[in-house]
Chains A and B, each alone.
Chain A
Amino acid sequence: MFERRLYHHVDWVLIGAVLAICAIGLAMIYSTAGGAGRVYWTQVYALGLGLIGMGIAASIDYRSLADKSHWIYLAIVILLIGVLFFGAVRGGSQRWLDLGYFNLQPSEFAKAALALMLAKMLGEERHSGLVKRDLLIAAVLTAVPFLIIARQPDLGTAVTLLPILFIVAYVAGMPMKYIYAGLVVAILAAPIAYRFGLQEYQRERISTFLDPAQDPKGAGYQQIQARITVGSGGILGKGFMAGTQGQLRFLPVAHNDFIFSVLAEEQGLVGVLAALGLYFFVIMRALDAARLAKDRLGAFLVLGVLASFTSQVIYNITMSAGLAPVKGLTLPLMSYGGSSMVATLVGFGLILNVRMRRFTN
């Protein structure tokens, strides 16, 4: 299965960049968690586990995986349903399966599974372009995990499934008229959705985002604190473990959702640009893999994985600067979270997979 010559096509540069991001994340977790404690070591183990997962995901030919994608997809959906019934409840939502030694968050893995499923479905179509029927099936395939995850409730993670659908459909040749129509509908529907589709707390988040000062102690608090955290970092930052906002807990879940704010505070604009550069590099490098992919399946798979990754990175960093409404959305590769780390690395394993098999038949 793993031929020796494939070894030479492994994208070590991409792996290096990914590991560099992970290292920054670990350092920030070390800083905010006050040293090498339980949180830190959990993350280290997750990284190790993720690298193994990445190796496995890269080893098995993605075409073989795609052949079994419906089974993988089905397994994930069953796990997600299982979470609804047996999941551990934490912080008001039910996202985790308690497996004794660790908690598994199946929704993280749903992204890769969905990418694989959509890539297989749209990539193996014989005819050119994208027909309505394909789009409808893809939408349904996305909607199933989306709705289950949204029920947990974890709207944040659920929403990260949507870019997979859009991007894969987009590159698969979705006609531009659909795209324009979609944009028009979205613009028209937004106020209605805001009015009727959202919970009170969600509406509040959005309205305080637009004017955080209207409720500086309540919903606007985190956003204001995020801006203060970032802004007070300056060009060079306050120094490792010397940030005040993160260290003194003015910023909530600093090692998790707001880890990039802590980076901005302690390492300043220099650290921010370095991390942004790494992410940008990783994304561009992965896009290269899509461009070089041997077949549509490979290209779509890379883009599907990349779609949720990229959208999550951009959204989280925007939120970290206090420029987007606060959502419980982690920063892939940096934030604390075992399932996210493993799932993301597995995703990158798939990208490596596609790239290193670009010359094989």
Chain B
Amino acid sequence: MDNAEDRRRLTTRLTVLRVSIGVAFGLLACGFWFFQVVHHGQFKAMAENNHQRTLTLRAPRGIIYDRTGKLLVENRNSFNISILREHSKDLDRTIRVLAAVTRVGERTVRDIVDRHRREPSYRPIVVVQDATLAQVAAVTARRLDFELPDVIVQEVPTRRYPDQDMAAHLIGYVGEASEEQLQSDGVTSGAMVGQFGVERVYNRLLMGEDGAKRVVVNSMGREIRTLEEVPPTQGRRVQLTINYAMQKAAEDALRNYGYNGSAVVLEPQSGEVLTLTSQPAFDPNAFAAGIDRATWSSLNTNKLRPLQNRAIQGRYSPGSTFKIVVATAALEEGAITPDHQVFCPGGGTFYGRFFQCLGKHGYMDLRHAIEKSCNTYFYTVGNMIGVDKMYKWAERLGLALKSGVDLPNEAESIVPSTEWKQRRFNERWYPGETISVAIGQGALSVTPMSMAVMMATVANGGTRVVPRLVKAQDDGSGWQPVPATPSPFPPFAMKPETLSAVRDGLWMVVNGAGTGRRAMIAGRDVTGKTGTAQVISLQGRDRARGKSEQDLRDHGWFVFMAPRDNPEIAGVVFAEHGEHGSSAAEVARHIIDTYFAQRDGQPLPVLTPPAPPAPPTPARVTAAATARPSSLDSARDALGIRRRAEAGRNSVASARRSLGPQSVAEPR
């Protein structure tokens, strides 16, 4: 070294360097301690969040069968394409690329993303539901190129309804869980839950439990390996009370004869619903992976209202079928015996007004009055017992109030009473009103379901049943019966003479000189009653607006049970604009025929398409012209009889065949 001063300075400055470096290393050690010890938990969580992704494994919903074990609803796998914003570096670009690749409008994609913007970023936003294979392939290819690291393709179980629109209103459909539904436990965002029908009511059974998969992903979002997998639990299998063959028969027959409307068939003892249809229907497959807006709005704006379940939401005037209630009430209240006779001169004057009957029936007892649907008889008997007794028995039979079937949004059937009128209109009941009510006119408004319950009550001897749709469920350990909810209606037995008289009358309607002959099946003892629900008087104003003739034709009812003794089935067919109950009767015939054929192991009946419309019948015109609105229903009933007489005295089968087309094509 050159000199001592230099040496000293060097030593000093070396010491300064030494200390500086020491301090720097000390600070570094502190920094690492701070991150690795003090804030370790926080960074550990962030690291896991970085590379671990929890994917929801959607549980397949439970499979639904009919009572005979026929599959009604199953699942298929579909693909959802979603954006996982957590991994987005440039969301805008992702939206652009994804829209181009999947050929979905960029605006649409942006809207979807905007709608979910507030959700946590680790939750995938489903952009394309039920993607096509081409879309899946296109996205997957881009992912391999690391172009869309924040887009994932997930396989999800999706509902499949193999019979399309069959029993659509009953089975219902699924849809993305609403905000409200998300509140209930077990439902996560984006989950498909039941929104209608059995899918909705028994959602808890059908839903199952979603599983989860924790996977390791790399910085490009690609899955490296699975850390943990909790497999989803499929929803329970559910067996409905529905009989597939009968359900199909009902829908086929309605379509075959060209009617919209509804059919409900119950097992009278248990209240199990064997058939429940509403036409026109919709295809629940359209909802399975999220319905598109166009389909949804067309379903909603369709004038025929395919989303309405007419069986429980459509309310119509019961017409002559209400005579069953009047007859039962009069017999049970002891006002008359079955042999009580009334003379029918073609009508009767009550409270200073003439009420018409459609025929001059002469002396009639109850059985024949039912068979001929004689208005005079029921005016008289109804007047004897009064409206409140009629209401009492309407409720007891099941025609009034809600049936309590396990479907949502059931409408309440209305049968008037003095109390009802006071409550509803704050008005006194006028005895004259009773006369109209006695033949099913006036302020009566009932659902097909309540009609079916009424027939079930008559069929089982007096106990009003609560219709039910689910027979059994299976959580994987075997079928367990689903117990019926306790009925609010106590068991009841009507007098044997009441039952035999009413049943005899109804049997004669079909098998004698009545209006329901089209429902006759040799050896099956079908019993039933036709009815007509007026459309004109209710919607008279629509005529001025130029509604089509079809829209103004009356509705046809046919309520039935079979066989007469110890009935096994009871139900109703409602043929919208069917003009007359006999049109509904031919639909019912096919259902009943199918039931017995299946029960006895015979080949199921086949429908023959109706022949083209026949020319107008003069007799029909006359009848319509003479019929007053208040007794129109009976006019139709009478017409049925007359036609049948015209058809000749051949075999029943040939009569039915020859009459079928005429009825369908009834002109106005």
Contact = CB atoms under 8 A, between A and B. Distances in A.
Interface of A: 126, 128, 167, 170-171, 173, 217-218, 225, 227-235, 244-245, 248-250, 264, 268-269, 272-273, 276, 279-280, 283-284, 287, 290-291, 295-296, 299, 303, 310, 314, 317-318, 321-323
Nearest to B42: A231
B37 A269 contact: yes
- Considering residues A171, A218, A268, A290, which has the most beta carbons from chain B within 10 angstroms of its beta carbon? A171
- Please list the 8 inter-chain residue pairs (A to B) with the smallest Cβ-Cβ separation, ordered nearest first: A231-B43, A232-B47, A248-B218, A231-B35, A249-B219, A269-B36, A244-B51, A250-B219
Interface of B: 1-3, 5-6, 9-11, 13-14, 17-18, 21-22, 24-25, 28-29, 31-33, 35-37, 39-40, 42-44, 46-48, 50-51, 88-90, 216-220, 224
A296 B1 CA distance: 6
B44 A321 contact: no
17 contacts: A167-B17, A171-B13, A217-B90, A218-B89, A232-B40, A232-B43, A232-B44, A244-B47, A248-B224, A264-B32, A268-B36, A272-B29, A276-B29, A280-B22, A287-B18, A296-B2, A299-B10
Given A227-B35, A280-B25, 17 more contacts: A128-B2, A228-B46, A231-B47, A232-B40, A232-B44, A234-B37, A244-B50, A244-B51, A245-B50, A245-B51, A248-B217, A249-B220, A250-B218, A269-B33, A287-B17, A299-B10, A321-B35
A217 B6 contact: no
Contacts of A287: 14, 17-18, 21
B140 to A, nearest CB: 20
B43 A228 contact: yes
A321 B32 contact: yes
Contact of A273 (B5, B29, B42, B88): B29
B149 to A, nearest CB: 11
A234 B36 contact: yes
A313 to B, nearest CB: 9
A322 B46 CA distance: 15
A128 B6 contact: yes
Contacts of A291: 10-11, 14
A contact face: mostly helix, strand, loop, or mixed? helix
A287 B18 CA distance: 8
Contacts of B90: 217
A253 to B, nearest CB: 12
A225 B46 CA distance: 9
B36 A276 contact: no
Contact of A230 (B1, B3, B5, B43): B43
B contact face: mostly helix, strand, loop, or mixed? helix
B218 A249 contact: yes
Contact of B51 (A248, A299, A314, A322): A248
A229 B102 CA distance: 36
A271 to B, nearest CB: 10
Nearest to B51: A244
A287 B90 CA distance: 50
A172 B47 CA distance: 48
B21 A283 contact: yes
Contacts of A227: 35, 43
Contact of B6 (A173, A276, A314, A317): A173
Contacts of A249: 218-220
A234 B44 contact: yes
A126 B2 CA distance: 8
Contacts of B39: 231
Contacts of B21: 280, 283-284, 287, 310, 314
A244 B216 CA distance: 9
A171 B1 CA distance: 13
A250 B89 CA distance: 13
A229 B47 contact: yes
B18 A233 contact: no
Contact of B35 (A218, A225, A230, A245): A230
A30 B39 CA distance: 28
B28 A317 contact: yes
A231 B14 contact: no
Contacts of B17: 167, 170-171, 287, 303
Contacts of B47: 228-229, 231-232, 244-245
Contacts of B31: 318, 321, 323
Contact of A231 (B11, B28, B40, B218): B40
A314 B14 contact: no
A323 B218 CA distance: 24
Contacts of B88: 217
A130 B33 CA distance: 42
A276 B29 CA distance: 8
Contacts of A128: 2-3, 5-6
A273 B50 CA distance: 26
Contacts of A248: 50-51, 216-219, 224
Nearest to B11: A291
A295 B1 CA distance: 5
B25 to A, nearest CB: 5
A244 B52 CA distance: 10
Contacts of A280: 21-22, 25
Contact of B28 (A245, A310, A314): A314
Contacts of B217: 248
B537 to A, nearest CB: 70
A171 B14 contact: yes
Given A279-B25, A314-B24, A233 B36 contact: yes
A125 to B, nearest CB: 9
A70 B5 CA distance: 29
Nearest to B13: A171
A266 to B, nearest CB: 12
Contacts of A234: 36-37, 40, 44
A206 to B, nearest CB: 19
Contacts of B14: 171, 287, 290-291
Nearest to B46: A228
